[in-house]
Chains A and B, each alone.
Chain A
Amino acid sequence: MVLKNPFIPYLATLKSAVDLTPDVKLLKVELKNPTERASFNYKPGQFALLSAFGEGEAPFGMVSLPQHGDGLEFAVRRIGTVTRALHELEPGDVLGVRGPFGNYFPLENYVGKNMVIIGGGIGMAPLRPVINQILEQRDDYQDLLIINGARTPQDLVFAPEFKTWMKTPRTKLELTVDRGNEQWGGRVALVPDVVKKLAPSPDNAITITCGPPIMIHYTLAVLRELGFKDNQIVTTLEAKMKCGLGKCARCNVGDKYVCQDGPVFTLAQISQFLEQP
C-alpha cells in the first residue's frame, strides 16, 4: 500500500484576500481537488499549515466554520517571510494547505455555560469561529461576553462583524485599545485591566483567551483572581512549527507537542507543564 506523504500539501486556490487591518488579511482559500475539499473536516481551535510555495509553511488557526461551506478562511498577519509571501498572493494564485491539525475547542462541553471570550490583536482570529459557532447555536449557551483589544482601533481585526455580534441576544461586546485616535470614542486600556474592571463572574462560566503572550500572561492572572478555576480557563498556544505531525519536535513545550496535544489547552493543563510556554 502506498501511503500518502504527509508533507505534501493539498493544492488550493486563493479565492479572495481582504484587508482587515494594515497588516492582517483575511484569506479565503479553496482546495482544488473536490474529494480533498469534501474530506477537510475541521473544528474551531484546529489549525492548518499554509504553504507559500518558494518560501515555506506557517501555521494558521481556522477562522471559518465548516458548515458555511464556502472555503477555508485564515486571518494572516504579515510578520515574517512566509506571511509576507502569503500577503503578496493574488486571487487565483496557488498555495498549499496541510491539515487540519491539533485539537479543538470542545464547545459541546460548554453547552449551557456563560461564555467569556477574550481576544487581543491577531489572537482574535481563532476565537472568531468560536463566537460565530455560539451565535449559530445561541440558545445552547447562556451569556456571551466578548472582550476584544488591540494596539490601535485600526488593529481590531474583525471590526466588520462587531455589529452582528452586538445585535445578538444576551451578548455583550467590550472593545478596548492600547492607544486611541481622534475618531475613537471608546475605551483606552489594556485587556487584562478591562477584564479586571468588568469582573465577569466565574459561576457556570468558561473563558477562552487568545492574544500576545504578555496579554495572556496577565489576563490569566486576573481571571484566577476573579475566581475562575484553572479548568474553566481555556487558551490556545502559539509555537514555532514545522512539520505539524509531532515529528520534528520544534513545538515541544515540555513533553507536549503544540501541534498534537494542542493548540487548545486549559490553564489546568498548562500549569502542569514542565516547561512554561
Chain B
Amino acid sequence: MNLYISRGDLTRWLDQLCRERILLAPVRVQELTLFQPVSKVEEITLDFGNTTLSPKGWFLPPTEALFSVQDNDGQSQLVSSIIEKDAVIFGLRPCDAKGIALMDGPFLREPSDTPYQERRARTSLIGLSCRQAQPECFCTSMGSAPNDSSHVDILLTEIENGYIAQVITKKGKALLPKALVKSEEALPSPPELQTVPVKEITLAVRELFNDPYWEQLADRCLHCNVCAYVCPTCYCFDMRDYSNKENLERVRSWDSCQSIGFSRIAGGYNPRTTKGARLRQRFAHKLLYFPEEFQQDIACVGCGRCIKSCPVNIDIRETMSDLKRLEVKGGS
C-alpha cells in the first residue's frame, strides 16, 4: 500500500522524529553531502546524488569503544557502550540499504557482533529512491535498483508535489505519521543505468587469481584507505586499547587491507607484501570470498563511491570488465 506525503507533512514528520530519536540525514558540509545526526529539519538536504561517505558509519562507526574497563572498588568491570536513543536514517539510497543488508552477513552471524547488532535493531531505515543516476552508478548490475525497496522500512519516491511512501515493514509502518492518505499515483519509472558485465565474476576472479593483471593494476594504486572507507560494504577493522588516567577503553576503528602493515605480525613476517597482492585482496574479498562465504550477492552495490573518490581512478567496473575479458582470453 502506498501513501502520499506532502512536503509539509514530511517536514513535520522529520521534525517529530528528530526530537524523539537520533535522526541521521544527508547534510551539506563544505561542498560535500554527509550523513550526520540533525537537531533541526532545516539542516537536511535532499538535493544530492549520493553522500560522499556511506551510512555504514552509523552501524560500524569509524571509531567505537567495544567496552571500557571501570574500576569498582578495585574490581575491574567491563562495560559495553550503548546508544542512548533509537535511531532513524533518512534519505538512504537503495544501494546503501543493500550495503547494510550485506554487512549483516559477517556481523550478525554467530557470535553476533553485539555493538553492530544493537544499532541495527534500534535503527529504522527510510529510503529515498533515485530519480536520477550519477555517471558512476551501476546498481542495477549489482542486484539493486534506483527504486529497490528490498532493504528499507519505508521507501520514499519524490514526485512533483511531495512523496509517495511505500511501506515495506512493520517497523516502517509504526514510524509513519498517522493521518496519511493513500496514493493512487503510479510510481515514476527509475532512471536507466549502464550495465557492467558481472555474470560469474566470482569464477573469473578465482581463475585469474595468480594472473599478472593485479600487479599491473596496482602500479598506480596508492594503497590509501579511500576505497575501503567510502564503500558501503567494506568492513575490516582494527582493535587497540586506549587508556588515560580516568578510564581504559578497547576501541575498534576502520582499517583497510590496502595498508602494508595490515597482515604483518609482530615478529615482522608479512604474507602480503606486494602491491598487487594487497590490491587483489580487496577485489577478491568483495567479488569472490564474500559471496562464497555467505552464499550471497557479491559485496558491491554499484554506488560508485570508490570510482568517484579514488585518487587514481581505479574503477571497479573496469576491473570487472578486464577480468571477464581476460578470462575469455585465458589470462594476461
Contacts and interface: CB of A to CB of B under 8 A. Distances in A.
Contact of B285 (A51, A212, A252): A252
B155 interface: no
Contacts of A275: 209, 271-272, 277, 281
A122 to B, nearest CB: 9
B78 A8 contact: yes
B250 to A, nearest CB: 7
Overall SS of chain A's interface: loop
Given A11-B76, A247-B113, A248-B237, A238 B265 contact: yes
**Of B240, B271, B284, which is in contact with the most chain A CB atoms at under 10 Å from its CB?**
B271
A255 B107 contact: no
Interface residues of A, number: 44
Given A252-B289, A274-B284, A53 B248 contact: yes
Contacts of B264: 240
B176 interface: no
A162 to B, nearest CB: 25
A255 B255 CA distance: 18
Contact of B266 (A58, A212, A248): A58
B145 interface: no
Contact of A242 (B237, B284, B285): B237
Interface in A233-277: 238-240, 242-243, 245-250, 252-255, 274-277
A255 B112 CA distance: 20
B: contact size bracket: 35 or more
B80 A8 contact: yes
A96 B284 CA distance: 34
B302 to A, nearest CB: 21
Interface string B183-210: 0000000000000000000000010010
Given A53-B69, A56-B250, 16 more contacts: A8-B80, A53-B241, A56-B239, A58-B266, A243-B239, A243-B252, A247-B106, A247-B237, A248-B235, A248-B236, A248-B239, A248-B252, A248-B255, A249-B235, A249-B236, A250-B255
Q: Which are the 10 A-B pairs with shortest beta-carbon distances?
A: A80-B266, A255-B289, A6-B111, A7-B66, A5-B114, A54-B243, A79-B266, A242-B239, A249-B236, A5-B80
17 contacts: A3-B111, A3-B117, A53-B76, A54-B243, A56-B250, A94-B76, A213-B271, A238-B265, A239-B263, A240-B265, A242-B239, A247-B113, A248-B252, A249-B236, A250-B236, A252-B281, A254-B289
Interface of A: 3-9, 11, 51-58, 79-83, 94, 96, 212-213, 238-240, 242-243, 245-250, 252-255, 274-277
